[in-house]
Amino acid sequence: MRSFKETLKKIKWETYIWLMYLPFSAAFYLPARSWTDYFWLMMMGAFLIVYILVTEVPKWRRVTIPLELLITGSFAVLSFNFYMIIFTAWQVAFILSTMPRRYFGWFLISYYVFLGLGIIRSVQTNPIAGVEYTINALGLIFPVLSPIMSYGFARSVQIRKQMSQNNRRLENLIRRGERDRIARDLHDTLGQSFSMITVKTELAQKLLEKAPERVPDELRDIAKTSRANLQLVRQIVADLHQQTLSKVLLEQGKNLAQARIFMFTEHEEAASKWPTEVQNCIAAVIVEAVTNVIRHSRASQVWIKFNQVGENYHLEVQDNGHAKRLTRENANGITGMLQRVREQNGEFQISSNSIGTLVQVHLSKE
């Protein structure tokens, strides 16, 4: 049962779904009344076998793809059936989208040669019926556009997959960066503090024999250092619950993309190295600002700019939406952004300009 389910999962349903239209093409020759009808029905059977081989056996595609094009092209040229070649257009163009473009170019030329010959023979054989048929939207336009539409659709699917993979890689890099930052904090602070505790403990052991009256002072220093380390650990744990700029930009970029809003950033890489407390404050402002843009601004673009002058850190969030709704005091999270910035002794400003709404934040290191 499990092997059967695994087999079903491996089947490329997106390729075989097109075969549901095959009976409509077979209807041209049913009921079979002559040997030519039987011949074309046998050719359909051959096409079906080759179609499956093209899908399931990639190493044979050098032979099976030209063979499939030859079979469906024969339908167009000899039987004036322009529907069969559409199957090849969608299947093969989709497959070739992952290969060098010259392969698709060769396929496209061969495809249009068969299609063109079929149209010419159709007009020559029966000028009136041929013209009426070939100018029909389903009879000509769809077969002509099918390989291009299939190739474009396949490329867009691959681009989306690549973007999704890149996002996952970025998320992994961000997590790794967080681990590295925590490791540095632990090494630079706790490591030094514990080394000092070790030295003072060894000193207290020696003083216990030589100068017992100094031991209480050393023990108090050890206790003081331990309490400081405990507070530091709590601070590190608290920082873990804060979002870094890189993580926030990644998440908000996804949210904006879902709302069909393009996000552009400047100096993002430099900002990712800013102090943790600065990143935490600015990240919170970005979350609020982006939420407002999505909910209220009707914008199509957002620019997020970071800048550092000395020990001063600046953020600008500019959109091209409707500004009046967002600049009103005490509305749409503005109070929350203002409060977060003031807690860091920074400056917060929101205004409207000729582009849309502009949010500005200025923070200092101290």
Domain C-terminal end among 224, 240, 256: 240
| Higher per-residue confidence, 190 vs 292 | 292
Q: Are residues 224 and 285 in the same domain?
A: no
Q: Are residues 19 and 117 in the same domain?
A: yes
Average the pLDDT over each of 164-178, 189-203, 325-339 and give the range with the smallest value.
325-339
Mean pLDDT of 61-67: 93
Question: In whole angstroms, what is the distance from residue 160 CA to residue 257 CA?
Answer: 12
Of residues 87, 112, 108, 86, the one with CA closest to residue 97: 108
Q: Are residues 117 and 199 in the same domain?
A: no
Per the structure, the count of domains in the chain is 3
In a domain, 143, yes or no: no
User: What is the residue type of 235?
Assistant: Q
Structure tokens at 191: 């490591």
Q: Are residues 207 and 294 in the same domain?
A: no
Question: In whole angstroms, what is the distance from residue 245 CA to residue 278 CA?
Answer: 9
In a domain, 163, yes or no: no
Count CB-CB contacts under 10 A for residue 306.
20
Domain C-terminal end among 240, 257, 276: 240
Question: In whole angstroms, what is the distance from residue 255 CA to residue 242 CA?
Answer: 19
Judged against a pLDDT cut of 70, whether residue 295 lies above it is answered with: yes
Q: Are residues 220 and 274 in the same domain?
A: no
- Using one digit for the tens of pLDDT, what is the confidence trace for 95-138? 888 888 889 999 999 999 999 998 888 878 766 555 555 455 45
142, with CB counted inside 10 A (0-12, 13-18, 19+), is middle
* Element of type H or E holding 37: helix 35-56
CB 137 within 8 A of CB 146: no
Strands of the sheet with 301-309, listed across from one edge: 262-266, 301-309, 312-319, 357-364, 347-352
CB 326 within 8 A of CB 357: yes
Report DSSP state, residue 296. Answer: I
Q: Are residues 251 and 233 in the same domain?
A: no
Residues 6+ apart with CB under 8 A from 30: 37, 41
Q: What backbone torsions phi and psi does residue 332 show, to the nearest 5 degrees?
A: 55, 45
Global pTM value: 0.52
Residue 137, pLDDT score = 42
191, with CB counted inside 10 A (0-12, 13-18, 19+), is exposed
User: What is the residue type of 121?
Assistant: R
In a domain, 277, yes or no: yes
Q: Are residues 24 and 63 in the same domain?
A: yes
Residues 6+ apart with CB under 8 A from 106: none
Mean pLDDT of 221-236: 75
Please report, for the domain that includes residue 344, its CATH number: 3.30.565.10
Q: Are residues 290 and 313 in the same domain?
A: yes
CB 210 within 8 A of CB 228: no
Q: Are residues 230 and 268 in the same domain?
A: no
SS3 category, 281: helix
Q: Are residues 14 and 112 in the same domain?
A: yes
Integer angstrom CA distances of residue 306 from 8, 172, 232, 279, 286:
50, 23, 29, 11, 11
In a domain, 359, yes or no: yes
Structure tokens at 207: 């003083």
In a domain, 88, yes or no: yes
Average the pLDDT over each of 126-130, 171-175, 246-250, 255-259 and give the range with the smallest value.
126-130
Q: Are residues 301 and 223 in the same domain?
A: no
User: Domain range for residue 304?
Assistant: 245-364
Domain C-terminal end among 202, 220, 240: 240
Residues 6+ apart with CB under 8 A from 291: 333
Q: Are residues 213 and 265 in the same domain?
A: no
Mean pLDDT of 231-257: 76
In a domain, 141, yes or no: no
In a domain, 159, yes or no: no
Count CB-CB contacts under 10 A for residue 26.
15
In a domain, 114, yes or no: yes
